[in-house]
A and B are shown apart, each in its own frame.
Chain A
Amino acid sequence: MKRVSLFTICFVIFIISWVFLEFVMGGVISKPIPSSVISMYMALILIAILVHVSVEDTRFREFLRPIHETLVDENRHVRRIVLAVLIPLLMLGYTYSNLAQKANPPGDPRDAHPSPPLELTYKDEVIGSMQTVENPHRHYEKDDPEKFKSHVENGRRVYYQNCFYCHGDHLDGQGHFADALNPLPANFQDPGIIPNFQESFFFWRISKGGPGLPASGTPWNSAMPIWEDHLTKEEIWDVILFLSDYTGYPYRTFGEGH
């Protein structure tokens, strides 16, 4: 039986990797992966294959042998013609699929997270610097657990009266209106949301809403209302307590500097 060439093995590994990412990882195991991310992973897999085959001269020659034979050997005439037709056709198809008009608008070019201002305000009142302001009800967690609990309960009331329509019953961004919004409402159950930001950041986002987002990193397209027009300072701080209490994620805090 004829031995399978190294080139063929590498080619098969490459295709299997693509099938795994596109259909297994992006279908069976999890949700679909964007094509740009798959391209990035495939580029890395290609690099890995090329590194493996080219480190040693003998292996590299073995890898290149079928390519060389296809290009120069007399008895590979048919294969050459097939490839000469197939490769331009594939390139044509790829070019067409990229250039053809599709009803598929590009993704959102906005930044992942807006840059907060240096100063935290409620309406026109300056509360303090974004860096140092803390939730005024947070200390009850240690000092007076009962009082803390009442603030959390107040936060729960505020949330289910105002926020759950978009952010969902379970704070997972799957509220009734979620499907009509782009970008989707924040998912507080995501481990990358609450732990990455201070409570002051959340106060700013809630109080100023979509219209209060910074000029840089636009377009934001946020449907978040300006909640400082409807909620008191205490209610906003309480709902912030509730978000953390419900999800179990602590907010970002800072320790000692150098």
Chain B
Amino acid sequence: MRCCSSLITKKRLYFILGFVLLGTVLLAVVPAFAQDMTDAEYRPFPLIGSRNAAWIAAQLHLLFGSFILGVPMFAVIIEFIGWKTKDERYDRMAQEFIKLCMGAFSTTALLGGVLVFVLVWCYPKVLSKLSGIFGPTMIFYVVLFFGETFTLYLYSYGWDKMKGRFKWVHLVLGVLLNVWGTAIMFVSNTWLTYQTSPAIQYGKASVETQEKWLESQLAQNSELTRAEVLEGVTDTTVISLHNETSGEFLGTVWEAVNNFTWMPVNIHRLIGNIAFGGSIVAAYAAFRYLVAKTKEEKAHYDWMGYNGNFIALCGLIPLPFAGYWLGREIYMFNNTMGINMMGSLFSWLFIIQAVMIGVLFIGANYYLWSGMGRIQGAEIYARYRPYMIAIIVIGVAIWMTPRTLSKISTASELSAMGGSNHPHLGLFGLMTSKNTVVNIVILTTFLSFLFYRRSGKTPTVSWKGIGNIVITAIFFLGVVSIVVIGIVGFIVPTDTRVNVLTPWQVLVALGVMVVVTVVDIFLYRKATTSGTINWGQMTERSQYVLILLAITFTSLMGLMGYARSGLREGWHIFGVQKDTSVDAFTPALGDAVNMVSIIMVIFFALVGFIFWLGLWGDKKKQPATPIEAEATVESDD
């Protein structure tokens, strides 16, 4: 084996892998080249069809992209913590994270290439239209990509060399890496979000664009005057950035970039990348924990899994808020699209989403509670656990209760119920109920983390009694406020609920978390450690939960990607460029679930292979980070 590993280096294996994948794609596409090469709008992709080919390539590219953009964000923070606390463990863990990233980086680029190749071949007119609008951003993207690549190599290979007095340079490189990565994502998000919402509000368009739009309207309606066209047009009126007859682009590049869904998707993906990256790292650690042979290894991967899950939780908690903003912007752009999403074609997808997010919250809490089992002195919090489980499960139950039950009821059940909405449970189907329980589930998860953080410690400050009363009061008032706002949400106009009440609910939840964290930090600042954290003493069940969380995150990203993309229905660019291909139909939810599952299996197979390759060369070189397997008198914070 040593002979093999010396002959076939890691880099060479990546090259081989890349060529094999590229070769496979080429072989699959070659027969299609033999067909008509004239100015076709579409060319078929052999065997699986163009849409499926683009779907697989885009989703895999996104999953890998999400991983390599998410991991450096927390890696640099962990490295900074290690530098400041002079704790070598953090530095090594951050380095290990980046090593995982390095393996996935080339695959991400390769899959990006495959995606472009599929689009150029199968959808030339679509790509032509998009590149006509976004040409300058595509050049910018290439520049950013070079920046990201070289910075990642410098950051990774310079890790050991820059230790000591050049550590700050290394940290700057880490920050720069994240700047490049985030910019790359923001740029590529412009193209896909524009496909969904190619419009702008009249008041936000430039004078030139307003004028061009007006002229296009006059050309279409020759009997109207300028004043008649402008009648009823306000600053918030949504205007298309294309001539509705000729399809000509009327706006500027920036107006196309800054479309309705661009920033919400940016923020949603930014936070999602952290959660996804954390969950993949945690799943990797869980796998290594399960196969670990020594106590030291178990302790190390237990610790790594804990940190991965903590990072995933940090991303998961604000994720629903960002998703809500995205949903709101979709309604703002086009009410029909919004109704399609939440009340019509895609509404059942959101029930599946609720189930999966329920799995994430229950799983993350389960892991935290399991983790308290390895901390001496955590037993005192066990008595609260049944109530917390009940709150989370009731919250998830409300979240996943559909508004309309006609599809999942028999005719006699509908008749007995008096319609397709249950008179009481039907209220759970409304957004005000769902927003309320989401916030309460989030606060309960935060409470789990608070208990975990406090486990094994005793505060020594004189005001500890008052401090605990204050924290309890903040939680109580926060929950009462969220529930009251939720009830008011049933009776106010929807506009008020969406734009005033829901943001207030979010602010209350975030406010509770921030204030309680600050008070708790001061409360436990000079706390005595009465217990120890026995790293490496987790149940195997808890490790399978970490793997389940990564699988759930991956499936969720795939399914919600289907919703975001499918919302365009029969359009490549909504309202501008019609899809006239043989695939111009929206796949049924069952078909989408099958496709997402296939992509998920391919993703985990590739990730597993890449991680295995990465470990192959390192096996002999690096022992596990020496964390004491038992009786580690270290607090986690």
Contacts and interface: CB of A to CB of B under 8 A. Distances in A.
A88 interface: no
B413 A190 contact: no
A91 interface: no
Contact of B334 (A114, A131, A251): A131
Contacts of B332: 254, 257-258
Interface in B406-461: 406-414, 416-427, 429-430
A52 to B, nearest CB: 6
Contact of A187 (B416, B419, B569): B419
A107 B413 contact: yes
A175 to B, nearest CB: 13
B137 interface: no
Contacts of B264: 258
B539 A57 contact: yes
A45 B396 CA distance: 11
Nearest to B204: A257
B237 interface: yes
A56 B494 contact: no
A8 interface: no
A110 B405 CA distance: 11
A131 B237 CA distance: 9
A6 interface: no
Interface in A139-168: none
A250 B489 CA distance: 12
B427 A254 contact: no
Given A51-B366, A116-B335, A190-B421, A254 B236 contact: yes
A40 interface: yes
Contact of A32 (B333, B408, B416): B416
Contacts of A44: 358, 393, 396-397
Interface in B357-410: 358, 362, 366, 369-370, 373, 382, 385-386, 389-390, 393, 396-397, 400-410
A132 B232 contact: yes
Interface residues on A, range: 35 or more
A115 B568 CA distance: 12
Contact of A184 (B336, B385, B419, B493): B419
A110 B490 CA distance: 26
A163 B345 CA distance: 28
A252 B335 CA distance: 10
B260 interface: yes
A257 B201 contact: yes
Contact of B422 (A30, A129, A187): A30
B481 interface: no
A29 B425 CA distance: 11
Interface of B: 201, 204, 232, 236-238, 260, 263-264, 325, 329, 331-336, 339-340, 343-345, 347, 358, 362, 366, 369-370, 373, 382, 385-386, 389-390, 393, 396-397, 400-414, 416-427, 429-430, 490-491, 493-495, 497-499, 539, 541, 569, 575, 586
18 contacts: A32-B417, A34-B405, A36-B408, A40-B397, A55-B370, A55-B373, A112-B347, A112-B406, A112-B420, A115-B340, A118-B336, A118-B575, A192-B429, A197-B339, A201-B335, A254-B495, A256-B236, A257-B329
